[in-house]
Every structure is written in structure tokens, then in C-alpha cells.
Amino acid sequence: MHMRFAAWRAQLTGYAFISPFLLGFLIFTAFPIAASLYLSFTDYNLFSPPSWVGLEQYRTMFTGDPKFWKSLRVTFLYVFVGVPLRLSFALLVALLLNRASRAIGLYRTVYYLPSIIGGSVAVSIMWRNLYGDEGVINLALNFFGLESVRWFADPLAALWMLITLSVWQFGSSMLIFLAGLKNIPPSLYEAASVDGANPIQRFFRITMPLLTPVILFNTIMQTIAAFMTFIPAYIISKGEGGPLDGTLLYSLYLFRRAFVFYDMGYAAAMAWILLAIVAVLTALVFFTSKFWVFYETKED
């Protein structure tokens, strides 16, 4: 009997410690998830009670709302151009900085700096102005003999602003790659050198395979984060997503449907489509990872 009491107590103590998370999860995550699923089947404008419309919101989304498709296209371009570019830069610079030198600390700091300030409104304002008609980017283009681009007049050019802003912040992925590179045992490279492998062979036979778990991880986290990008699109387009919806990232369009047009049901339905897209993509990456991610079998 006494033992049972002690066992109960241990259970209760455990739950008492994690209770902030549990409560928060129930109130701010689990309940809202369920509520948003329900709302996605309703028409709701915040002021009159939600009315059940079944799959109507989803039907409108897929068949009657060109803006939805436009924003999906813009977002896919943003994610599938931006994330690979960002990760490539991260890996490239990590390889460049993965050596013993006193200056490395300084370089690492400077390359990482944009990641730490990149999410701020100030940086988005700065980016807007770099791409102004008489901004630094156009001056640089002119310097190389190219014509100025009117970045705010062309939808694709405007999206390019957002992509470059995202690529500029490759620093946090770079740090994770650097940590991965440090974990590769130097003995492997020494053995390969003895066997006569050149640097290129060493890179493709040792570095890349051993980095694949980190690449997998970075790909998943960066893709999800990219789908959630909001501040740069909101600030750079002054909340409108223009020109011609060229910067109307998914989260910005969802925000506008919910809080500019008070179309809560539609916004909730959009959120569930986004969740489905992210889940499918993550599952796909996991599934294919069997074929390209290399896991060491020895040690812990």
C-alpha cells in the first residue's frame, strides 16, 4: 500500500513539473487546432456566430480564388528557390570556415550577424531601400554594365527581394553545418589521404555522406520556417503583397483574409491546407532520406 502511494506520488510530481507545458499545450495549441478545423467548415466573420457551410471554403479555395493559387505559387517559388540557395551558401561558407585560424571566430560572427537581425522590421525596411529605384542594388547592377531593375514594379523581381533577404540569413544553418563538420573524425581524412584520395574525392566520399543527417535536419526545419515567413513580405510590400500579388506569401494572404477581410473560416481552411502541405513535404523528405542519408552504424 505504501509503495503504491509512493508510485502515485512520483507520477503526480512528474506531471506537476511538466504542467505548465501541458496546460499551455491544451489551451494555446490543442484546443486552437481543433477549433481551427471546425472553423474551416464554417463561415465566420467574428461578429455573428459561425454558420456551418461544409466543404464550401475548401471548394472556393480550389476552384474560385485565383489569389489563393497565386499566393501558393509565390510561396512555392520562395521556398524551393530560397531554401536550397540558403543551404548551399550555408554549407559553402561552413566548409570555407572549417579550418584552424585565429580569424575564424571573427568571420563566423560576421557571417552569422544577418541571421540574428534578419527577422526585424528594421532590416526589412533596410532591404526595401537597398532595392529602391536609386538604391544600392541598382547602382551595383549599373556598375557591372547592367540596366536598373524596377524592383517594386515587377512581381518576380519583388519576390526576388524576399528570396535574397532569406538567403542573406544563412548564418544559423551555417553554424549547424560547422558543428556537423567538427564531428567528422580527422582520422577518416588521414586514412583517405594515405590511400591517395584527392580533396574532391575526400569531400564527396567522406564529408558529404557524414553531413547528410545534418543536411536532412536543416532542410526540414528551414523549409517549415520558410513556409511561415511573414514579416519581410508584410513590411516590404507594406502589408499588401504587391505588386500584382508578387510578394503575397501564403502566411500574408492568410493574415489578410483573417484580419483585413475578417474571413475567419476561409483563413482556418487555408491554415489546414498549409499544414497538409508541410506534413506531406516533411514525410516526403523523411521517406526519401533512406536513399540519401548516411547513418553511422557503430558507436552510440
Partner 1 sequence: MAGKRLRWAAYHLLAAGGAFLMVYPVIWLFMSSFKPSELIFVTAGTLIPDPWIWDNYVTGWKGIGGLHFGIFIKNSLVLVVLATIGAVLSSALVAFGFARLKFKGNKFWFAVMMLTLMLPFEVTLVPQYILFSQLGWLNSIKPIVVPAYFGAPFFIFLMIQFIRSIPAELDEAATIDGCGKFRLFWRIIVPLIMPAMATASIFSFYWRWEDLLGPLLYLNRPSLYPVSMALKMYLDAETISNWGAMFAMSVVSLIPVLIVFFLFQRQIVEGISTTGLKG
Q: Which of residues 32-91 bind partner 1 (CB under 8 A)?
A: 32-33, 35-36, 39, 46
Q: Which of 132, 190, 280, 286 binds partner 1 (CB under 8 A)?
A: 132
277-296 positions binding partner 1, by CB under 8 A: 278, 282
The CB-of-196 to partner 1 minimum distance in angstroms stands at 21
Does residue 237 belong to the site contacting partner 1 (CB under 8 A)?
no
Assigned C-alpha cell, 219 = 532542410
What does each C-alpha distance from 258 to 39, 45, 87 come to in angstroms?
A: 12, 8, 32
The CB-of-95 to partner 1 minimum distance in angstroms stands at 11
Q: Which of 134, 147, 299, 300 binds partner 1 (CB under 8 A)?
A: 134
The CB-of-187 to partner 1 minimum distance in angstroms stands at 22
State how far the Cα of 98 lies from the Cα of 75, in Å rounded to an integer.
33
The CB-of-36 to partner 1 minimum distance in angstroms stands at 5
The CB-of-10 to partner 1 minimum distance in angstroms stands at 6
Q: Are 274 and 254 in contact (CB under 8 A)?
A: yes
The CB-of-191 to partner 1 minimum distance in angstroms stands at 24
Q: Which of 51, 88, 120, 148 binds partner 1 (CB under 8 A)?
A: 120
216-235 positions binding partner 1, by CB under 8 A: 217, 220-221, 224-225, 227-228, 230-231, 234-235
The CB-of-26 to partner 1 minimum distance in angstroms stands at 9
The CB-of-148 to partner 1 minimum distance in angstroms stands at 12
Q: Which of 119, 153, 199, 288 binds partner 1 (CB under 8 A)?
A: 119
State how far the Cα of 75 lies from the Cα of 90, in Å rounded to an integer.
21
3-state secondary structure the chain: CHHHHHHHHHHHHHHHHHHHHHHHHHHHHHHHHHHHHHHCCEECCCCCCCEECCCHHHHHHHHCCHHHHHHHHHHHHHHHHHHHHHHHHHHHHHHHHCCCCCCHHHHHHHHHHHHHHCCCHHHHHHHHHHCCCCCHHHHHHHHCCCCCCCCCCCHHHHHHHHHHHHHHCCHHHHHHHHHHHHCCCHHHHHHHHHCCCCHHHHHHHHHHHHHHHHHHHHHHHHHHHHHCCCHHHHHHCCCCCCCCCCCCCHHHHHHHHHHCCCCHHHHHHHHHHHHHHHHHHHHHHHHHHHHHCCCCCCCC
Does residue 103 belong to the site contacting partner 1 (CB under 8 A)?
yes
Piece of 64-72, 128-136, 240-248, 286-294 that binds partner 1 (CB under 8 A): 128-136
Per-residue x/- track, 4-23, partner 1 (CB under 8 A): ------xx-xxxxxx-xxxx
CB atoms near residue 9 (< 10 Å):
10
Does residue 199 belong to the site contacting partner 1 (CB under 8 A)?
no
Does residue 259 belong to the site contacting partner 1 (CB under 8 A)?
yes
Number of residues that bind partner 1 (CB under 8 A): 91
Does residue 272 belong to the site contacting partner 1 (CB under 8 A)?
yes
Piece of 61-69, 108-116, 150-158, 184-192 that binds partner 1 (CB under 8 A): 108-116
